[in-house]
Amino acid sequence: MNYLSILHEVFGYEQFRGPQQAIVEHVGAGGDALVLMPTGGGKSLCYQIPAIARQRAGLGITIVISPLIALMHDQVGALHEAGVSAAFLNSTLSGEEAYQVEQSLLRGDITLLYAAPERITTPRFLAQLASLFERGQLSLFAIDEAHCVSQWGHDFRPEYRALSVLHERFPGVPRMALTATADDLTRADILERLQLQEARAFISSFDRPNIRYTIVEKRDSTTQLLRFIEREHAGDAGIVYCQSRKKVEDIAQTLLDSGVNALPYHAGLEGRVRQSNQDRFLREEGIVMVATIAFGMGIDKPDVRFVAHLDMPKNIEGYYQETGRAGRDGLPANAWMCYGLQDVVNQRRMIDESPAEEAFKQVMRGKLEALLGLAEATDCRRTQLLAYFGELSQPCGNCDNCLQPPAVWDGSAAAQMLLSTIYRIHKLSGISFGAGQLMDIVRGKKTDKVAQHGHDTLSTFGVGADLSEIQLRGVLRQLLAMGAVMVDVQAFNTLVLTDKSRAVLKGDVAVRLRESVSLPAPRKGKMPVNTKPKAPIELDALALLRYADLKAWRAEIAREHNLPAYVIFHDATLAAIAERAPQSLQDLQGISGMGVKKLEAYAQEVLRVVAVA
C-alpha cells in the first residue's frame, strides 16, 4: 500500500513528519498502536491515512472515538474538503440526520466515522458495529484523546472506561490510542484500561521548538498581560487562561476596552453563547479567547500565536497541553505565564480540600511541586519541561531564561529568616499566621496586628528590613516550591514548617532565586485592532497584496461552506501561492496543502484572484 501517495494526493503534503510514516505503516497493516505525540505533531493523519488505505483495500470503515463533540463538524468538514468520505454521529444531529448516517454506515459508504464514547457503547450502535464486523467491514478503531481513560490525566471521562468492550466484542480489529499527554502513570493506565498491552508504542519527542516559553512573576497581571499582547501580539489570535469565570469576564472586558478583539469562554455561559464564541474564534481571524480551562481541548486552529496563563494550571501536563495549542502550524508562537504566591496557595487548597483519597492527593501535590519548580527555574525552561516527560535535551535558546539569563541571588539567609520566624511565631502562642503577617514581622513593620500579638518582641522582628516585600515573597514561593513550607488550608492558609525546613535552616540546602525584574513601560496610545495581515513568510509588496486578496477570498469560501478558514487552506499555503504568483494549473502543483481535490475545486478561482491582484 502506498501511504505516501495518499499523503500527496489527498492532503497535498510533501513528506511524513517524525514517526508518522512508521505509525501509518504499522496500523495500515493491521497492528495495534499507542501514539504519544505533542499537540500539533500531526496525530490525525496517523489514523486518517490508514483509514483511507484500508477502505480502498476493501477492509471497511474506521471509527474515530473522540470526546470533542463540538469539533466533529469541522473535522469532518476538513475531510470532505480533501475529498474523503466522512461523517459524525452525535447529539447535535437530528433524529433523521443520525438515521441517514447510520444507513450509510451500514452500507459501508463512509471511510471515517467520528463518534463520542457514550454513543459508541450504546447497545444500538454496538449492534450496528457487529453487523459490519460480521461482514469484515470494520477496519480500525482510533481512540483519540486517550488520556481521558485515566484518572491521572487532567481530563478523566468515565465513559472511556467502557471502551474496553471494543476489544472484547470485535477481536482482531486493529485499535490505536492517541494522546498528547505522556506521563508514565497516564500511559500505563491507557494501556491497561484499553487492553492495549500488546500494542506497539510510538513515542515522539515532546519538544515544540517553535514555542517560546516565558514565565514571569505576577505583579499587576492585567497590565502585564496587556503589555505582552501590545508588544508582541497586536492583531494575533491567542488564548488567555484564567482560573475563575468572573476573572474571565473581567479580563475579556478589559482587553476589549484596550482595543483587543477579545471574547469570553467559560462553563457558566449559556451553551449558545459559548458555542458562538468558539465558532468565532475558529472562523474569524485575530480573536483573543479569554477562557477557563473548559476551553481548548482539541481546538485544532493552527494559527493561535500565543497562549497566556494569568493563573497557574494544576500541573505540568495541563500547562503543556494548554500551551501546546499555540503554533500548531509550526510558525513562531509564545507561551506566556505569570504566577504568584496566591496561585500556589490556591492550588494547594484545591488539592487539600478535594474529596479524593490521600494517596491521590499526594500524587497531585507532587505534580504541583514540579510545576512550581518550573516556574522558579533559573535555567532553560524547555530542558525542564522535557525532562519532566523523560526527555534529555540541551538549553534551547528559545525560552526566557535562555534568551535573558536571569540574575540570581542567594536567598538562603532570607529563607532562614522566614523559616525561623515561622517557628518563633508558633512557639510564642501556639498558633500560626499567614504570609502577610510573616512579611511584616521580618521587615520590621509594627502594624496593629503585629503589636496585638506581640510579634514585635520576636528576635527576628525586623531582621529582613533591607529586603523588599517582593524579594521576600520570591523566597517564600521558592520555599513552597521546595516543600520547605506548607500552607495549612484547614487553618486560614497559615504557614507551617515541614520535614524539609530543617535542611534549609541548617544551611545544607541553598535557596537560589531569580532577581525580580521591573515591569516594562506602557506603550503610547491604543492598540491597533485591524493590523495588516502578517504573512508567515517574508513576502514582497506585490506578494503581500496577493496574500491579502487570497485571504479575503478564503474567508468567503469558508463562510459559504460553514467551516473555519484554515480548513480551506492554511495561511502557509496561501503565502506560498502568493509568493509563487501562479499563472497556470501547472504552477500550482506541489504547493504544500494543495491536494488533488482542492486543486480541482479551487485552482481556477485561486488563479483568478492572483491574476487580479
CB of 87 to ligand ADP, least distance (A): 19
Q: How far is CA 140 from CA 65, 314, 505, in A?
A: 11, 35, 59
Answer for which of 10, 26, 33, 40 binds ligand ADP (CB under 6 A) is 40
Binding status of residue 241 toward ligand ADP by CB under 6 A: no
Task: State residue 308 phi and psi, 5-degree precision.
Answer: -115, 135
What residue number has its CB nearest to ligand ADP? 42
Q: In the range 468-487, which residues lie near ligand ADP by CB under 6 A? A: none
Rounded Cα distance between 99 and 102, Å, is 5
CA separation for the pair 326, 324 (Å, rounded):
5
Q: Is 3 in the site for ligand ADP (CB under 6 A)?
A: no
Instruction: Provide the mask over 328-367, with x wherever binding to ligand ADP is found by CB under 6 A and - wherever it is not.
Output: x---------------------------------------
Name the segment binding ligand ADP (CB under 6 A); options: 36-44, 217-225, 476-484, 532-540: 36-44
The C-alpha atoms of residue 372 and residue 479 are separated, in whole angstroms, by: 10
80 forms part of the interface with ligand ADP (CB under 6 A): no
Partner whose binding site includes residue 117, from ligand ADP, Zn ion, none (CB under 5 to 8 Å by kind): none
Q: Which is nearer to ligand ADP, 207 or 369 (CB)?
A: 207
Task: With residue 303 as reference, give the H or E element that holds it.
Answer: none
State in angstroms the smallest separation of the CB of 482 from Zn ion: 22
240/262 Cα distance (integer angstroms): 9
321 binds, among ligand ADP, Zn ion, none (CB under 5 to 8 A by kind): none
When CB distances are held under 5 to 8 angstroms depending on the partner's kind, the choice from Zn ion, ligand ADP, none that residue 13 binds is ligand ADP
Tell me if 202 contacts ligand ADP by CB under 6 A: no
Interacting residue with ligand ADP among 3, 10, 16, 550 (CB under 6 A): 16
Q: Give the interface segment with ligand ADP, choosing from 40-48, 266-274, 538-546, 596-604 (CB under 6 A).
A: 40-48
- Among 33-41, 129-137, 152-160, 233-241, the segment contacting ligand ADP (CB under 6 A): 33-41
As a whole number of angstroms, the distance between CA 240 and CA 308 comes to: 5
370 SS3 class = helix
Query: Rounded to 5 degrees, what are φ and ψ at 62?
Result: -105, 135
302 binds ligand ADP (CB under 6 A): yes
Interaction between residue 44 and ligand ADP (CB under 6 A):
yes
By a kind-dependent CB cut-off of 5 to 8 A, residue 399 interacts, out of ligand ADP, Zn ion, none, with Zn ion
Give the residue among 263, 251, 247 at the shortest CA–CA distance from 224: 251
Return the residue of 24, 45, 116, 262 that touches ligand ADP, per CB under 6 A.
45
Output 13 or 360, the one with its CB closest to ligand ADP. Answer: 13
Instruction: Out of 19, 42, 153, 340, name the contact with ligand ADP by CB under 6 A.
Output: 42
- Cα torsion 22, 25, 28, 32: sign: negative
Q: Given candidates 27, 33, 34, 37, which one binds ligand ADP under the rule CB under 6 A?
A: 37
Q: Which is nearer to ligand ADP, 140 or 487 (CB)?
A: 140
Q: Which stretch binds ligand ADP (CB under 6 A): 13-21, 247-255, 309-317, 467-475?
A: 13-21
Give the range of 9-17, 84-92, 98-106, 412-420 binding ligand ADP by CB under 6 A.
Answer: 9-17
Element (H, E) at 270: none
Q: How far apart are CA 566 and CA 574, in angstroms?
A: 10
Q: Which residue has the cell 521580618?
A: 442
CA 45/CA 365 separation, integer angstroms: 36
- Under the binding rule (CB under 6 A), the answer on residue 13 touching ligand ADP is yes
How near is the Cβ of 228 to ligand ADP at its closest, in Å? 25
Q: Residue 298 or 373: which CB sits closer to Zn ion?
A: 373
75, 506, 537, 551, 613 from 555: Cα distances, Å: 18, 65, 20, 6, 16
Interaction partner, residue 66 (Zn ion, ligand ADP, none; CB < 5-8 Å by kind): none
Q: Identity (one letter) of the amino acid at 306?
A: F
- Give the 3-state DSSP-derived string for 193-235, with helices as H, strands as E and coil as C: HCCCCCCEEEECCCCCCCEEEEEEECCCHHHHHHHHHHHHCCC
Between 39 and 460, name the residue whose CB sits nearer to ligand ADP: 39
Q: What is the nearest approach in angstroms of ligand ADP to the Cβ of residue 154? A: 16
Beta bridge partners of 68: none
CB neighbourhood size of 172 (10 A): 8
Residues 518, 407: contact at Cβ < 8 Å? Answer: no
CA atoms of 451 and 434, how far apart (whole Å): 16
Residue 137 touches which of ligand ADP, Zn ion, none (Cβ within 5-8 Å per kind):
none
* Contact (CB, 8 A) for 309 and 336: yes
Binding ligand ADP (rule: CB under 6 A), the pick from 81, 183, 217, 300 is 300
Residue type at 59?
L
Measured distance CA(83)–CA(602) in Å, rounded: 13
Residue 39 contacts which entry, Zn ion, ligand ADP, none (Cβ below 5-8 A, type-dependent): ligand ADP
Q: 519532566: which residue's cell?
A: 388
Minimum gap (Å) between residue 503 Cβ and ligand ADP: 42
Give CA–CA dist 63/86, Å, rounded.
Answer: 10
Binding stretches for Zn ion (CB under 5 A): 380, 382, 396, 399, 402
Write the DSSP symbol of residue 508: S
In whole angstroms, how close is the CB of 393 to Zn ion at the nearest point? 9
Residues forming the site for ligand ADP (CB under 6 A): 13, 15-17, 20, 37, 39-45, 300, 302, 328
